[in-house]
A and B are shown apart, each in its own frame.
Chain A
Amino acid sequence: MVEVVRIVLSVLLVFTFAAVGVGLFLVLMERKISAWVQARIGPRHVGPYGTLQTLADLLKMLQKEHILPAGADRVMFELSPIVVAVAALMSYVVLPWGPGLIVRDLGVGVLYFAAVLSLEVIGILTGGWASNNKYALLGGLRSAAQMVSYELPLGFSILTVATVVGTLSTVRIVESQPYPWHTYPSVIVAGAVFLVAATAESNRIPFDLPEAESELVAGYFSEYSPLRFALFQLGEYGSLFATSALFVTMFLGGWRGPFELPVVGSVLSGIFWFLLKTYAVVFFFMWVRWTYPRFRIDQLLNVSWKILLPVSLANLLLAGLLVAWGG
Chain B
Amino acid sequence: MTEAAAFYILTGTVLGAALVVVLSRNIVHAAVSLIPVLLGVAGYYVLLGAEFVAAIQILIYAGAITVLILFVILLTEGATGLRVRQRNEQVPLGIIGSGALVFLLITLLTRAPWPPAATPLPTYNPGAVGQSFLTAYVLAFEVTSLVIVACLVGAIVIARREE
Contacts and interface: CB of A to CB of B under 8 A. Distances in A.
Contacts of B2: 4
Contacts of B26: 73
B64 A148 contact: yes
Interface of chain A, helix or strand or loop or mixed?
helix
Contact of A129 (B55, B64, B74, B126): B74
Interface stretch (A38-46, A95-103, A115-123, A240-248): A115-123
B51 A114 contact: no
A7 B29 CA distance: 34
A76 B30 CA distance: 12
B55 A148 contact: no
A73 B28 CA distance: 10
Contacts of B67: 121-122, 125, 144, 148
Interface in A110-163: 111-112, 114-116, 118-119, 121-122, 125-126, 129, 132, 137, 141, 144, 148, 151, 155
**Which of B67, B123, B124 neighbours the largest number of chain A CB atoms within 10 Å of its CB?**
B67
B62 to A, nearest CB: 6
Contacts, number: 79
A168 interface: yes
Interface residues of A, number: 29
Most buried by B among A4, A111, A114: A111
A111 B55 contact: yes
B122 to A, nearest CB: 10
Contact of B63 (A73, A75, A106, A118): A118
Contacts of B32: 76, 79, 122, 126
Contacts of B63: 115, 118-119, 121-122, 151
Interface in B22-45: 26, 28-29, 32, 35
Contacts of A119: 58, 62-63
Residue of A107, A137, A141 with most chain B CB atoms under a 10 A cut-off: A107
Contacts of A132: 79
Interface string B106-129: 000000000000000001111000
A145 to B, nearest CB: 8
A115 B59 contact: yes
Nearest to B63: A118
Contacts of A115: 55-56, 58-59, 62-63
Given A118-B63, A119-B63, A144-B71, A106 B58 contact: no
A108 interface: yes
A151 B71 CA distance: 17
Nearest to B68: A148
B13 interface: no
Contacts of B7: none
Interface string A59-77: 0000000000000010110
Contacts of B71: 125, 141, 144
A111 B74 contact: no
Contacts of B11: none
A114 B29 CA distance: 26
Q: Which 8 A-B pairs have the closest CB atoms?
A: A118-B63, A115-B59, A115-B58, A111-B55, A108-B55, A108-B51, A115-B55, A112-B55
Given A115-B56, A121-B63, A129-B78, 14 more contacts: A106-B51, A107-B51, A107-B126, A108-B54, A111-B59, A115-B58, A116-B58, A118-B64, A122-B63, A122-B70, A125-B67, A129-B28, A129-B70, A144-B71
20 contacts: A73-B28, A76-B28, A107-B124, A107-B125, A108-B52, A108-B125, A108-B126, A111-B59, A111-B126, A114-B59, A115-B58, A118-B62, A122-B62, A122-B63, A122-B70, A125-B71, A126-B32, A129-B70, A129-B74, A132-B79
